[in-house]
Amino acid sequence: MRELDHAGDESSSPADKTLFGKYEVGRLLGYGAFAKVYHARDVHTERSVAIKAINKQRIIKGGLTANVKREISIMRRLRHPHIVRLLEVLANKKKIFFVLEYAKGGELFAKVAKSRFSEDLSRRYFQQLISAVGYCHSRGVYHRDLKPENLLLDENWNLKVTDFGLSAVTDQIRPDGLLHTLCGTPAYVAPEILLKKGYDGAKVDIWSCGIILFVLNSGYLPFNDPNLMVMYKKICSGDFRVPRWTSPDLKRLLSRLLDTNPATRITVDEIINDPWFRVGFKEVKFHHDYLELKDDDDDDEDENSRGSDGSFASGDNLKIMNAFDIISFSLGYKLSGLFDDREDGERFLSKEPPEKIIETVVAVAEGEGLTVVTKKEWCVKVVGGSKCNFAMAVELKRLTEELVVVEVRTRESEVGPSNRVWKDKIRPGLNCLVYKTGPAGCG
Residues carrying an active site annotation: 145
The order of strands in the sheet holding 151-153 is 106-107, 151-153, 159-161
Cα 267 to its chain centre, rounded Å, is 25
Q: Do 374 and 380 contact (CB within 8 A), yes or no?
A: yes
Q: Do 178 and 163 contact (CB within 8 A), yes or no?
A: no
Q: Among residues 152, 132, 154, which one has the least CA distance to residue 141? A: 132
Rounded distance between C-alpha atoms, residue 368 and residue 354, angstroms:
22
Calculate ∠ Cα 82-35-131, nearest 5°. Answer: 15
Question: What is the DSSP secondary structure assignment for residue 239, as one 8-state letter?
Answer: -
Residue 38's DSSP bridge partners are: 28, 51
Residue 102's DSSP bridge partners are: none
Phi, psi of 384 (to 5 degrees): 120, -155
Rounded distance between C-alpha atoms, residue 406 and residue 357, angstroms:
9
Q: Among residues 14, 75, 69, 1, which one has the least CA distance to residue 40? A: 14
Q: Do 60 and 332 contact (CB within 8 A), yes or no?
A: no
Rounded distance between C-alpha atoms, residue 68 and residue 164, angstroms:
9
Q: Are strands 86-91 and 48-55 parallel, antiparallel or unpaired?
A: unpaired
Rounded distance between C-alpha atoms, residue 262 and residue 256, angstroms:
10
Output the DSSP codes for 375-426: E-SSEEEEEE-SSSEEEEEEEEEESSSS-EEEEEEEEEE-SSTT--IIIIII
Question: What is the DSSP secondary structure assignment for residue 95, as one 8-state letter?
Answer: E
Rounded distance between C-alpha atoms, residue 107 and residue 283, angstroms:
24
Distances (CA, A) of 174 to 27, 145, 202, 371: 42, 20, 15, 43
